[in-house]
Amino acid sequence: MADVIPFPVTRRQAFVFKQAEHAALMNPDAGERYVLRQVKVQRDAMRRKGVPEQLIERELRSLENAIRDALQRLLIGGVA
């Protein structure tokens, strides 16, 4: 049996930026729910692919941090 290793989500810059853009267009509560929902979607996808739980948690922490960093840059920069 082979180990499934996901491509690091934080390297998918277009995906991260798209999620941050969507969240930036929402009110803060809705934006927070949106970010958490996207993390859950990715968690479910990785579980279906058989990625080990410890690796999923590490990747999702990185993903959430990347989205929040991009969101902060958008909001501070006034792009959204």
Note the pLDDT tens digit of each residue in 32-75: 999 999 999 999 999 999 999 999 999 999 999 999 999 999 99
Asked whether residue 2 is domain-assigned, the answer is no
Asked whether residue 1 is domain-assigned, the answer is no
d(CA 26, CA 28): 6
CA nearest neighbour of 74 among 17, 14, 27: 17
For the whole prediction, is pTM greater than 0.75? Answer: yes
Asked whether residue 51 is domain-assigned, the answer is yes
Q: Which domain holds residue 28?
A: 9-77
Tally the domains of the chain: 1
- Confidence band of 7 (pLDDT split at 50, 70, 90): low
Asked whether residue 43 is domain-assigned, the answer is yes
